[in-house]
Amino acid sequence: MSGARSALGTFRLGQKPGARPDPSISTLASADGPAQTARRQGYIDLVENGQFDQVVEERIPILFPEEKRSDARLLGIARKMAADTGADTFLAQQRAIMARIDSRPRLGEIAVPTLLIWGDKDGITSRAHHDEILDAISGAKLEVIAGAGHLPTVEAPELVVPLLTAFIDG
Protein backbone atom coordinates (compact mmCIF):
# COMPACT_ATOMS: atom_id res chain seq x y z
CA MET A 1 0.00 0.00 0.00
CA SER A 2 1.18 3.47 -0.77
CA GLY A 3 2.36 5.32 2.32
CA ALA A 4 2.33 2.27 4.56
CA ARG A 5 4.40 -0.83 5.02
CA SER A 6 2.50 -4.09 5.21
CA ALA A 7 3.42 -6.87 7.60
CA LEU A 8 4.74 -8.77 4.59
CA GLY A 9 6.97 -5.82 3.64
CA THR A 10 8.15 -5.49 7.22
CA PHE A 11 9.22 -9.15 7.25
CA ARG A 12 11.14 -8.64 4.03
CA LEU A 13 13.10 -5.91 5.82
CA GLY A 14 13.84 -8.29 8.69
CA GLN A 15 11.68 -6.44 11.21
CA LYS A 16 8.86 -7.73 13.38
CA PRO A 17 5.50 -6.23 12.40
CA GLY A 18 3.65 -4.09 14.91
CA ALA A 19 0.13 -4.59 16.19
CA ARG A 20 -1.61 -2.53 13.53
CA PRO A 21 -3.99 -4.19 11.07
CA ASP A 22 -2.43 -5.21 7.77
CA PRO A 23 -4.40 -4.82 4.54
CA SER A 24 -2.64 -6.29 1.49
CA ILE A 25 -4.01 -5.84 -2.01
CA SER A 26 -3.08 -8.04 -4.99
CA THR A 27 0.13 -9.22 -3.36
CA LEU A 28 2.63 -12.06 -3.60
CA ALA A 29 4.58 -13.65 -0.76
CA SER A 30 6.96 -15.54 -3.02
CA ALA A 31 10.11 -14.28 -4.66
CA ASP A 32 9.98 -13.75 -8.41
CA GLY A 33 10.52 -16.82 -10.55
CA PRO A 34 12.57 -16.79 -13.76
CA ALA A 35 9.64 -15.75 -15.99
CA GLN A 36 8.68 -12.86 -13.71
CA THR A 37 12.28 -11.70 -13.47
CA ALA A 38 12.64 -11.84 -17.27
CA ARG A 39 9.44 -9.80 -17.70
CA ARG A 40 10.68 -7.19 -15.22
CA GLN A 41 14.07 -7.06 -16.94
CA GLY A 42 12.26 -6.37 -20.20
CA TYR A 43 10.52 -3.42 -18.55
CA ILE A 44 13.86 -2.18 -17.20
CA ASP A 45 15.38 -2.43 -20.68
CA LEU A 46 12.51 -0.39 -22.15
CA VAL A 47 12.91 2.33 -19.52
CA GLU A 48 16.67 2.45 -19.93
CA ASN A 49 16.14 2.88 -23.68
CA GLY A 50 13.87 5.88 -23.10
CA GLN A 51 10.59 3.99 -23.60
CA PHE A 52 9.00 4.34 -20.16
CA ASP A 53 5.62 5.22 -21.70
CA GLN A 54 5.60 1.86 -23.48
CA VAL A 55 5.87 -0.01 -20.18
CA VAL A 56 2.39 0.94 -18.99
CA GLU A 57 0.95 0.06 -22.40
CA GLU A 58 2.56 -3.39 -22.20
CA ARG A 59 1.22 -3.87 -18.66
CA ILE A 60 -2.41 -3.00 -19.44
CA PRO A 61 -3.31 -6.61 -20.44
CA ILE A 62 -2.11 -7.92 -17.06
CA LEU A 63 -3.47 -5.01 -15.02
CA PHE A 64 -7.04 -5.01 -16.32
CA PRO A 65 -9.44 -7.71 -17.49
CA GLU A 66 -10.16 -7.72 -21.23
CA GLU A 67 -13.56 -6.05 -20.87
CA LYS A 68 -11.99 -3.06 -19.07
CA ARG A 69 -8.97 -2.50 -21.34
CA SER A 70 -10.79 0.11 -23.39
CA ASP A 71 -12.16 2.02 -20.38
CA ALA A 72 -10.75 5.52 -20.91
CA ARG A 73 -11.07 6.42 -17.21
CA LEU A 74 -9.13 3.36 -16.01
CA LEU A 75 -6.47 3.71 -18.69
CA GLY A 76 -6.07 7.39 -17.82
CA ILE A 77 -5.61 6.54 -14.14
CA ALA A 78 -3.04 3.82 -14.93
CA ARG A 79 -1.10 6.16 -17.22
CA LYS A 80 -1.19 8.97 -14.64
CA MET A 81 -0.04 6.60 -11.89
CA ALA A 82 2.90 5.59 -14.09
CA ALA A 83 3.75 9.22 -14.92
CA ASP A 84 3.51 10.20 -11.25
CA THR A 85 5.79 7.30 -10.30
CA GLY A 86 8.35 8.26 -12.92
CA ALA A 87 11.01 6.20 -14.62
CA ASP A 88 13.60 6.32 -11.82
CA THR A 89 11.19 5.18 -9.12
CA PHE A 90 9.77 2.51 -11.42
CA LEU A 91 13.29 1.16 -12.04
CA ALA A 92 14.01 1.09 -8.30
CA GLN A 93 10.71 -0.71 -7.64
CA GLN A 94 11.36 -3.36 -10.28
CA ARG A 95 14.89 -4.01 -9.03
CA ALA A 96 13.67 -4.25 -5.43
CA ILE A 97 10.93 -6.71 -6.38
CA MET A 98 13.42 -8.80 -8.39
CA ALA A 99 15.63 -9.03 -5.28
CA ARG A 100 12.88 -9.66 -2.72
CA ILE A 101 13.02 -12.73 -0.54
CA ASP A 102 10.48 -15.52 -0.44
CA SER A 103 8.37 -14.59 2.57
CA ARG A 104 6.26 -17.75 2.59
CA PRO A 105 8.31 -19.57 5.27
CA ARG A 106 7.65 -16.72 7.76
CA LEU A 107 4.01 -15.93 7.04
CA GLY A 108 2.91 -17.88 10.11
CA GLU A 109 4.76 -15.35 12.29
CA ILE A 110 2.38 -12.56 11.29
CA ALA A 111 0.19 -12.03 14.34
CA VAL A 112 -1.77 -8.94 13.34
CA PRO A 113 -5.21 -8.82 11.77
CA THR A 114 -4.66 -9.33 8.04
CA LEU A 115 -7.00 -8.55 5.18
CA LEU A 116 -6.22 -9.69 1.65
CA ILE A 117 -8.07 -8.08 -1.24
CA TRP A 118 -7.86 -9.64 -4.68
CA GLY A 119 -9.62 -9.04 -8.00
CA ASP A 120 -10.71 -12.35 -9.51
CA LYS A 121 -9.49 -11.25 -12.96
CA ASP A 122 -6.02 -10.22 -11.77
CA GLY A 123 -3.44 -10.96 -14.46
CA ILE A 124 -0.48 -10.85 -12.06
CA THR A 125 -1.53 -12.55 -8.83
CA SER A 126 -3.77 -15.60 -8.59
CA ARG A 127 -6.31 -17.01 -6.17
CA ALA A 128 -3.74 -19.71 -5.34
CA HIS A 129 -1.21 -17.02 -4.33
CA HIS A 130 -3.76 -15.47 -1.99
CA ASP A 131 -4.96 -18.81 -0.62
CA GLU A 132 -1.36 -19.63 0.26
CA ILE A 133 -1.09 -16.42 2.29
CA LEU A 134 -4.57 -16.90 3.77
CA ASP A 135 -3.75 -20.44 4.91
CA ALA A 136 -0.44 -19.40 6.48
CA ILE A 137 -1.60 -16.36 8.51
CA SER A 138 -3.86 -17.25 11.41
CA GLY A 139 -7.14 -15.37 11.23
CA ALA A 140 -6.43 -13.74 7.87
CA LYS A 141 -9.41 -12.88 5.72
CA LEU A 142 -9.68 -12.78 1.92
CA GLU A 143 -12.12 -10.50 0.10
CA VAL A 144 -12.52 -11.27 -3.60
CA ILE A 145 -13.62 -8.42 -5.86
CA ALA A 146 -15.57 -9.97 -8.74
CA GLY A 147 -14.62 -8.66 -12.16
CA ALA A 148 -11.62 -6.65 -10.96
CA GLY A 149 -8.07 -7.07 -12.17
CA HIS A 150 -4.79 -6.15 -10.47
CA LEU A 151 -5.95 -2.70 -9.39
CA PRO A 152 -9.20 -3.28 -7.47
CA THR A 153 -8.84 0.03 -5.61
CA VAL A 154 -9.02 1.80 -8.97
CA GLU A 155 -11.52 -0.52 -10.67
CA ALA A 156 -13.98 -0.92 -7.80
CA PRO A 157 -13.37 1.75 -5.14
CA GLU A 158 -17.03 1.56 -4.13
CA LEU A 159 -16.33 -2.00 -2.94
CA VAL A 160 -12.74 -1.72 -1.73
CA VAL A 161 -12.94 1.49 0.31
CA PRO A 162 -15.71 0.20 2.63
CA LEU A 163 -13.75 -3.04 3.12
CA LEU A 164 -10.60 -1.13 4.06
CA THR A 165 -12.49 1.32 6.26
CA ALA A 166 -14.27 -1.43 8.19
CA PHE A 167 -11.05 -3.40 8.57
CA ILE A 168 -8.93 -0.49 9.77
CA ASP A 169 -11.63 0.85 12.06
CA GLY A 170 -11.88 -2.69 13.40
For residue range 20-47, list pLDDT tens digits in order: 677 899 999 999 999 999 999 999 999 9
Residues 6+ apart with CB under 8 A from 56: 78, 79, 82
pLDDT at 54: 96
Domain ranges of the chain: 1-31+103-170, 32-99
Which of these, 31, 18, 2, lies nearest to 10 by C-alpha position?
A: 18
For residue range 130-155, list pLDDT tens digits in order: 999 999 999 999 999 999 999 999 99
Topology at the third CATH level for domain 1-31+103-170: Rossmann fold (3.40.50)
Please say if the pLDDT value at position 16 is more than 60.
no
Element spanning 161, H or E: helix 157-169
CB 150 within 8 A of CB 118: no
Q: What is the mean pLDDT of the chain?
A: 89
pTM for the full predicted model: 0.86
Q: Compute the distance between CA of residue 17 and CA of residue 106 in angstroms, rounded to an integer.
A: 12
pLDDT at 121: 98
For residue range 89-145, list pLDDT tens digits in order: 999 999 999 999 999 999 999 988 999 999 999 999 999 999 999 999 999 999 999
Residue type, 149: G
